[in-house]
Amino acid sequence: MISKIEAKYIQSLHAKKNRDKEGVFVAEGEKVVQEFLKEKIIPVKLFATEKWALENKTIQGNFMKIASEDELQKAGFLKTPNQVLAIFPQQHHLFIPSKNKWILMLDEIQDPGNMGNMIRTADWFGWNHIIASKDCVDQYNPKVVQASMGSLSRIRVQYEALDHFLRETDLPVLGATLSGENIITLPKEKTGILIIGNEGKGIHENLKPFISKQITIPRIGKAESLNAATAFAIIASHLMKG
Closest CA to 42 of 94, 86, 6: 86
AA identity, residue 110 = Q
Cβ distance to a copy of itself smaller for residue 9 or 232: 232
The sign of the dihedral angle between the CA atoms of 221, 224, 229, 231 is: positive
Q: If binding means CB under 8 A, how many residues of this protein chain bind a copy of itself?
A: 38
Regarding 151 and contact with a copy of itself (CB under 8 A), the answer is: yes
Residues 179-198 that bind a copy of itself (CB under 8 A): 183-184
Output phi, psi for 133, to 5 deg: -70, 155
CB of 66 to a copy of itself, least distance (A): 26
Regarding 127 and contact with a copy of itself (CB under 8 A), the answer is: yes
Cβ distance to a copy of itself smaller for residue 23 or 97: 97
Regarding 237 and contact with a copy of itself (CB under 8 A), the answer is: yes
Max CA distance (Å), the chain = 58
Structural contact between residues 14 and 25, judged by C-beta atoms closer than 8 angstroms:
no
Dihedral-angle region of residue 23 (phi above 0 means left; psi in -120 to 50 means alpha; beta otherwise): left
Cβ distance to a copy of itself smaller for residue 164 or 188: 188
Residues near a copy of itself (CB under 8 A):
35, 113, 117, 120-128, 147, 149-151, 154, 183-184, 217-227, 229-230, 233-234, 237-238, 240-241
